[in-house]
Every structure is written in C-alpha cells, then in structure tokens.
Amino acid sequence: MRTLVLGGARSGKSAFAEQLVASEAVRYVATAVPDPADDDFAERIAAHQARRPANWTVIEGDAVAALAAAAAGDDAAVPANATFADGEATAAPATLIDDLGTWLTARIDARAAWESPRGAVAPDLDALVGAVAAYQDRLVIVSPEVGLGVIPATRSGRLFRDELGSLNQRLAQVCDEVYLLVAGQPIRVKPDRATASAAALSNSAEAIGTAAALSNSAHAIGIAAALTGSATAVAGTSADSVAAQSLSGTSTDAPGSAETAAGASVSLGGADAVAGAELVNGVSAAAAVADSGPELRKVLARPVEFGPVAGPDIGVRAAAEERQTRLTKPAGALGRLEALGNWVAACQGQCPPKQFERARVVVFAGDHGVARHGVSAYPSEVTAQMVANFRSGGAAVNVLARLADATVRVEDIAVDADTAPEISRFKVRRSSGSIDREDALTEEEVQASLAAGVAIADQEIDSGADLLVAGDMGIGNTTPATVLIAGLTDTEPVIAVGRGTGVDDAGWIRKTAAIRDAMWRARPVLRDPVALLRTASGADLAAMAGFLAQAATRRTPVILDGVVVTAAALVADQLAPGARAWWVAGHRSSEPSHKIALERLQLEPLLDMTMRLGEGSGALTALPVLRAAVATLAEMATFAEAGVSTADATETASA
C-alpha cells in the first residue's frame, strides 16, 4: 500500500501521516536538513522529532536511496551521510517519507538549478517516481500541496511550485491512495467514493439478479429497511414497506445518526437499488445473514471501510490541563488521574467534562474451531452456558458492572449453539474455523462480522452511550488473539503464549503449536487487516474490531479490557488509523501477549492485578478510576473559588 498525503503549511499533514503508520514499526526518512541560522525551521524539525516514537528508525538522507535500500533489504545501501537515530540499520515494515518539499529543495540545491529552466531536476524526479512505483511494502509520503496558493513572485518560487506540482501528480498516479489535509481534516481523494460506488454497482449479472429478486420480497425489503441506520433503503417500494426501524426496535431518528455517514459504510447494489446509494453504519450484514441466509448476504455483505480518525480535541485538552493548575491541590498531585481527566475532557469536547451517564459493556460471544484440538482447559459448550449466565446476571461482568454503574449487553456472534433470538440477531455462523488448519471465516463472513460490530456501536451510541467497553466470551479465544498479536508485533510464539483458561503443560504445548501454525498461515496477509481477520481471528474478534473502530469514528471513548479485546484493537487501529487515541487500557492481564499488544498501542494500563478472566471484567474494575478522574477535574474547587492561596501568592507575600 502506497499512500500520498498532501497538504498546505500547518495543515496537519505530517501528524496525519504518522497516525497512518502508528501501529507499525517505522523507518522514518527525514528529508529536512537543519539550518543553524534558521531558528523557526529548527523549531519545526524539533516538533516533528518530539512526536516520533523512540522505537522508530530515523534516516536522514535522500529518499530515493532510502527506498532503494529498503526494497533491497539493505540499509547499508543508504549513502554514508545518512544517519540512523537509533544506531541500527534494521529494515522496518513501513516507510514514512516527510516531506518532498525539503527533498526537492535539496535536489535543486545540489544541481544549482534555481535559475535554470524547468526540467533540470527531471532525473531526480524520475528516479523518485520510479522508486515509489517499484516499492512493494507499506509506504507513506508527505508532500506540500502547491496548487492552492498565490503565484510566487520570484522565478525560483515558481520553479519550485511547478516542479513539485508535477511531481505530486505523477506520484498520485502510482500511489494506491491519496489524502488531502485541509485545516487538519483528511479528505480521501483517491480512490474516491464515486468510483467505489460505481464499482459496487457494476456487479456480476448473478448478483444483480439476486438483488432484483430480493427487492420484490416484502420480507427482504423489511430487513433492508431495518438494517439502515439513517436514510434510504431500497428504491421502487412504498414508503410504508420501508419504515426504518433499528434492530433493537427503536427509531433510527436518534440524534447524530446523520453524522455517522462519515464512518464505515456497507453499500447495496442491484437493479432496483438507488444508484450509488449506501446503507451506512446502522447496516448489519450479519443480521441479514441470520434472518435471510446466504442469498441476502451475497447482496449486503459489501466491504466495510473506515477512514483515518482524528484524535480528541487538542484545544479542550489544553484547557483541561490549565484548569488542573487552578484546582486546590499542588500541580500534578493527583498523578495519572489528572491526565485521565484531561483525556476524557478532550474526548467529550468540553471542559470541565461530564460524569459518564450511560457506560455500556458489550460482550461479544463466539466459539472457535481450534478449541476442539486441546488448546483450552474447558470444552466449547461452556461458551453457551456462560452466555446464559450473563443474561441471568450471575457472571463477574454483571457484578462489576452493577458496582461501576454500567449496564451489560451480550451478543452471540458465533456461539456453537442456538441462543435466544434477541441476542443472535447479528450471528454470523456457529463457531469460527480452526485457524491452525483453515481460515476462520469466509470473505462474506468477515465483512458481515465487521458490519455487525459497526452496527452494534452505532446502536449503543445513538441510544446515548457515552463510554463503551468491549468484553469477550469464547472458549479458545486467546489462541486467535495471540496469533494476531504475535503476528502483528513479530513475536515468537513461545514468548507470547499464555495459559488462557489454565491449560496444563501438555495443553500449553498444543496451544503453542496451533498458534505457530496459524501464524504461518497468516504471514502473507499481515498487512491487510481484513484478510488477517478472515484468516486468523474469528467472527467475534472481527466484530470487536469493527466495534472499536466505529466507536473511535463516532468520537466515543472506550476502555479496553484484556488480551482478546486488545488483539482486536490492534487490528482496529489498522482499519481506522488513529483510533487508539480514543481508547484507554483498563488493565494489564497475566497473558504475556497482552503486555506486548499494549506496548505496540503505546497504552499504559490503569491497573495491574493479574486478572485474566475477560468478559470486560478488567475494564469495569478500572471504570471507577476513570470516574474519579472526571469527578476531580469537574467538581474540585479552584483556588479562587475556595479562597485558598496559591504557591505563587505565598511567594509574593513573603518577598
């Protein structure tokens, strides 16, 4: 995947590009060369350096040489004047070049071509475009967009603008996707939605015929109307037959439903469909599968797409930090509670923040075929039994939710048994495949699972949820979770594998072997999050990934639970780059791979109590801590309100 990120000065293009690769190991190619006489430029470079994670490999040198070295797997091929910030020359799976403006400046300088006609740096431009076109690994390029400004007054300025404008056009042709940053907001300009809609509508004759047949079925039309979370269902039907009802039976006119169109989408094509229409967010292909089987799935299970996610409000976070200094306490005296309160304020977009009024836990339940091969201490039928326990209120998640003032919802995504209709509306299949020897899901099923997660998130947020927790229930689910984590972090199985539900040594050996085999099968698709979910996860984990990505898209904070949920979060952050900014880690479990995943997400857990139950239990145990952070920031008196002298005032009086 090759991505070009364009934007003007101070547009946020560099920060956005960094979000695109935030969940990966990164080779950062810094094209800017500091000028000791230019303090402003030095400040800009310092700001970029401060944002970079310490584990990124930084190369200062020519972008063409860096790409050639990366493609050859030989960083020694980088010129001698290139430097590595961490002293190593190890290849990284993602390359980020920032930016082409300073790269082009250096090329023109090198050829002393500022007063030359256009074309003097053509060999350099050709070399760069050729290197990008030939590059097969993850690549993100940042470049200034020069077509929106005034015509430069100088010849050299016009030369720079014209050369860079032409270079950007050529790179846009060879890159897989292009984003334009405007006032900090990303707009995807390649591929555009019109092209995607046209492609969706130009399906095979078989799919069109199926859509036409289904559009004549009152039952199918009713399902399509129920699935749409906002606007149009199917054209050519009466208004009465497409009364929009959400799957939970509530009206879809909830505030904010129109806003979700910017999030994930599932398109419906066919002869009787509105041209270019999309079923947005509230759509659940999984529910369609449950109600109408594979024929409706064929039409509805289109790819679910997420865009990059902007983070919580920076301005509100700064206001919260300033308010913390005015509260009746020494600065920083509440430790991490202060940072947590500031984060909540930024997520809510207001300072002081509001206490959470509707914290919701969604437990995603599903069985896994790999459990039949001795990787768990419990049989698969325990999953359905525990689902019944959740519904009766007798599980740990229920007890902890009551204590933390939260409510629990359970959804059967892939339980290997029949469950109550009200919790199986999003059911994709009975048990996922045994990932050590077969794919977990088909392509249709992984899309249905993602769409289910999106729809569940939308239902909860549209119903007023202001804090979400994803929980898990499924015998054997730590096996696919460990596969995802170890694969995405390039960790050896023996380091990542834990005891799960408490397997003995023989069980641990079987589990490690299964994870090793599944990792081998997943290796070719590690950089394709949807294919990875299809190959090596399960319907429940895929639904969790969709749920977490959509919660971030809808700007709703989430407390992550244990290893299974965090594995889904790793993939969700690839589906929706930047989503991690909307999550806080509730705890660190005793599973080794959980620590590895949290480090990759750069999340510091609130608690470390050696818990490993799942269900959302660790997140709920941490919820009171988050509530305390909100309460102290919102309800404590300031020095002025309480009439308490500040340290500054005391120093002034003594002077």
The mean pLDDT value for 294-313 works out to 69
Which range, of 13-27, 114-128, 183-197, averages the lowest pLDDT? 183-197
204 belongs to a structural domain: yes
- Quick: pLDDT tens for 482-519: 999 999 999 999 999 988 777 788 888 989 999 999 99
pLDDT of residue 653: 53
The mean pLDDT value for 95-105 works out to 91
The two tokens of residue 278 are 């999309």
Residue 45: pLDDT band with limits 50, 70, 90: low
Tell me how crowded residue 196 is: count the other CB atoms within 10 A of its CB: 17
pLDDT of residue 224: 38
Same domain, 199 and 178: no
pLDDT at residue 72 tops 60:
yes
**Which residue, of 273, 300, 327, is where some domain finishes?**
300
CA-to-CA distance for 480 and 435, rounded, in angstroms?
A: 7
Dihedral angle over CA of 373, 375, 376, 381, nearest 10: -30
Nearest alpha carbon to residue 559 among 362, 296, 268: 362
Which range, of 69-78, 126-135, 239-248, 626-635, averages the lowest pLDDT? 239-248
Residue 189: pLDDT band with limits 50, 70, 90: confident
* Domains of the chain: total: 3
CA-to-CA distance for 121 and 115, rounded, in angstroms?
A: 12
Tell me how crowded residue 238 is: count the other CB atoms within 10 A of its CB: 9
Residue type, 120: A
% of the chain exceeding 70 in pLDDT: 75
Residue 100: pLDDT band with limits 50, 70, 90: very high
Same domain, 467 and 606: yes
Q: Is-cis flag, bond preceding 99, omega within 30? A: yes
Same domain, 123 and 211: no
CATH code for the domain of 523: 3.40.50.10210
| pTM for the full predicted model | 0.62
**Which residue, of 121, 155, 190, is where some domain finishes?**
190
pLDDT at residue 32 tops 80:
no
pLDDT of residue 536: 97
pLDDT of residue 650: 55
Same domain, 60 and 8: yes
H-helix or E-strand spanning residue 405 = none
Q: Is 645 exposed, middle or buried (0-12, 13-18, 19+ CB in 10 A)?
A: exposed
The mean pLDDT value for 80-100 works out to 60
CB 311 within 8 A of CB 555: no
Residue 48: pLDDT band with limits 50, 70, 90: low
Same domain, 491 and 527: yes
**Which residue, of 168, 190, 212, is where some domain finishes?**
190
pLDDT at residue 118 tops 80:
yes
Facing residues of 144 across strands? 7
319 belongs to a structural domain: no
CB 606 within 8 A of CB 625: yes
pLDDT at residue 1 tops 70:
yes
CA-to-CA distance for 617 and 590, rounded, in angstroms?
A: 13
pLDDT of residue 377: 83
Residue 164: pLDDT band with limits 50, 70, 90: very high
Annotation marks residue 604 as catalytic? no
Same domain, 185 and 227: no
Same domain, 361 and 414: yes
Same domain, 270 and 140: no
629 belongs to a structural domain: no
The mean pLDDT value for 176-190 works out to 87
pLDDT of residue 11: 86
Same domain, 434 and 552: yes
| Marked catalytic residue, from 591, 615, 635, 641 | 615
pLDDT of residue 272: 30
CATH code for the domain of 10: 3.40.50.300
344 belongs to a structural domain: no
Provide the domain limits for residue 487.
356-621
94 belongs to a structural domain: yes
pLDDT of residue 18: 86
* First and final C-alpha spacing in the chain: 63
pLDDT at residue 103 tops 50:
yes
Same domain, 292 and 441: no
pLDDT of residue 549: 98
Which of residues 463 and 253 earns the better pLDDT score? Answer: 463
The mean pLDDT value for 433-440 works out to 96
As a whole number, the mean pLDDT across the chain is 80
- Quick: pLDDT tens for 342-399: 999 999 999 999 999 999 999 999 999 999 988 888 899 999 999 999 999 999 999 9
292 belongs to a structural domain: yes
pLDDT of residue 302: 61
Residue type, 297: R
Residue 584: pLDDT band with limits 50, 70, 90: very high
- Interior angle at CA 210, CA 575 and CA 243, nearest 5: 75
pLDDT of residue 496: 92
CB 520 within 8 A of CB 423: no
Facing residues of 414 across strands? 366
User: Who's near 155: CB < 8 A, 6+ residues apart?
Assistant: 114, 115
Residue type, 288: A
Same domain, 604 and 457: yes
Residue 231: pLDDT band with limits 50, 70, 90: very low
Same domain, 389 and 428: yes
% of the chain exceeding 90 in pLDDT: 55
310 belongs to a structural domain: no
154 belongs to a structural domain: yes
Nearest alpha carbon to residue 67 among 143, 2, 141, 135: 135
